[in-house]
Copies of this chain bind each other. A is one copy, B any other.
Amino acid sequence: MALRPTWTSRSRTRGKILDAIRASRTISRVELAAATGLTGATISELVRELIDDGLVVEAGRGAPTGGKPRTLVQLDPRARYSVGVQMERNVCVIVIVDLAGRPVARTSFRGVASMPPDQALPMIASQVDALLAMAAVDRDRVLGAGLVSYGPQDRRAGVLLSPQPSEPWLEYPVAERLAQSLGLPVLLDNDAAAAAIGEYWMGAVDRRSTYGCIYMASGIGGGVVVAGDVYRGSSSNSVELGHMSIDVNGDPCPCGNVGCLENYAGPSALVRQAAAMPALAERLVPDPDSADFLTEFARIAAAADAGDPDARHLIERSARYLGAAAVTMTLLFDVDAIILAGPSFAKAGSVYQTVIQEEVDRRTAAWRTHPVRVAPSVNGPDAAAIGAAALVLQSELTHGRTQTGRGPGSHARPVAAVADD
């Protein structure tokens, strides 16, 4: 069963200070007081505690401002680490990130999706162990692991609510099982939500921003972040962009909806569309029935990026459909940026970015009171895995989940954890 550790107002305040230090890279105590609205005494006391715990180090003196020179503090990026695990349709990506959110090790492998969870999860755990060993990361400094996937979830219970990738995964306690195998707390979350928060953790968006993320891997997902917190809704199953209808007269989807975005703009739809164009199909889609449609899609995207007009037509049309979703996201969530994340934006990212920006500019002109920037994720194709690790850092450190005084020796509990809202 997933446990929900208690947290206190004090640790939340501590998290706020840590988040401000992280965001500004180096900062003085006086600037911290100004940035957080906390008193100098509170800042001094909690910065001292963060230094004692090894999370923060002093980093020289600030530029002279006439008075006493100010001592700067910064995160020690090697003080803590977290693990991000992304389960995609036919690949599993694992990253280890440091306290600054930077990946220090990465691996990916196939085959997990075809296994039942009671085999797959221990195998993932052994891959995490191997990666930690390879990166020479002290296990006592690892805060936990974030496991992200697609489809509906019960995030608090740590179970998937759809039979994906296969029937035995439905309602299997994935977070708890991985936590047992790893001996680390594990939180379960949505891959697109993770990709969205990773952007915040890396400082790529303003801390007060409301922004959206369109995540495209084998399918299409979405996430919205409001001032550093993932928009959750009533059960954390929000922003299901891939199954949003863009055509009220469109074809029915197995999900129950009609005209779902994913069936117009997603990789498998593009491969289907390409297979129906004989000249293009001959060149780029040798095996349209291949289960590995992502390889075929990557080939089309690369051809589009290299100037193949047929391939470009398909990718541009896919981008217009995604643009429609970006417009809806703008009108409903009032975002000021839309981040494009995930491996399926890797090959023709600039085409997607240009077209989606055009659609948003043209189609929301009457409503927007501010510009909406469309930009690629700073975390590249691994955005979901890196974001999964960032969710752990956020949950354990800045949302007040940290055990004061916890350091090497006080080992993480081998139970599933739950990110707070």
Contacts and interface: CB of A to CB of B under 8 A. Distances in A.
Interface in A243-262: 243-249, 254-259
A180 interface: no
A38 B255 CA distance: 45
Contacts of A61: none
Given A162-B366, A254-B366, A333 B238 contact: yes
A245 to B, nearest CB: 6
Interface residues of A, number: 54
A241 B334 contact: no
A154 interface: yes
Given A152-B367, A246-B245, A334 B256 contact: no
Interface stretch (A113-121, A133-141, A305-313, A321-329): A321-329
A256 B332 contact: no
A56 interface: no
A266 interface: no
A392 to B, nearest CB: 22
In order of increasing CB-CB distance, the 3 nearest A-B pairs are A233-B334, A238-B334, A255-B366
Contacts of A154: 369
A320 B152 CA distance: 25
A356 to B, nearest CB: 14
Mostly, the A contact residues are: loop
A334 B222 contact: no
A63 B222 CA distance: 50
Contacts of A370: 234-235
A232 interface: yes
A357 to B, nearest CB: 14
22 contacts: A152-B366, A152-B369, A232-B334, A233-B333, A234-B370, A235-B336, A237-B369, A239-B331, A240-B332, A241-B332, A243-B367, A245-B324, A245-B328, A245-B363, A247-B247, A248-B320, A248-B321, A249-B249, A256-B362, A328-B328, A328-B332, A329-B332
A24 interface: no
A252 to B, nearest CB: 9
A362 B320 CA distance: 27
Contacts of A209: 234
A365 interface: yes
A366 to B, nearest CB: 4
A207 to B, nearest CB: 13
Given A244-B332, A254-B366, 19 more contacts: A209-B234, A231-B333, A233-B335, A235-B370, A238-B332, A239-B332, A239-B334, A244-B331, A245-B363, A247-B249, A248-B259, A255-B367, A256-B364, A256-B366, A257-B331, A258-B363, A329-B332, A332-B332, A332-B333
B369 A334 contact: no
Interface string A342-368: 000000000000000000001111111
A156 to B, nearest CB: 11
A334 B235 contact: yes
A210 B234 CA distance: 5
A165 to B, nearest CB: 16
A334 B234 contact: yes
Interface string A146-176: 0000001010000001100000000000000
A144 B152 CA distance: 44
A71 interface: no
Nearest to A206: B234
A367 B240 contact: yes
A336 B234 contact: yes
A13 interface: no
A245 B327 contact: yes
Contacts of A367: 152, 237, 240, 243, 255
A337 to B, nearest CB: 9
A181 interface: no
Contacts of A239: 331-332, 334
A205 to B, nearest CB: 11
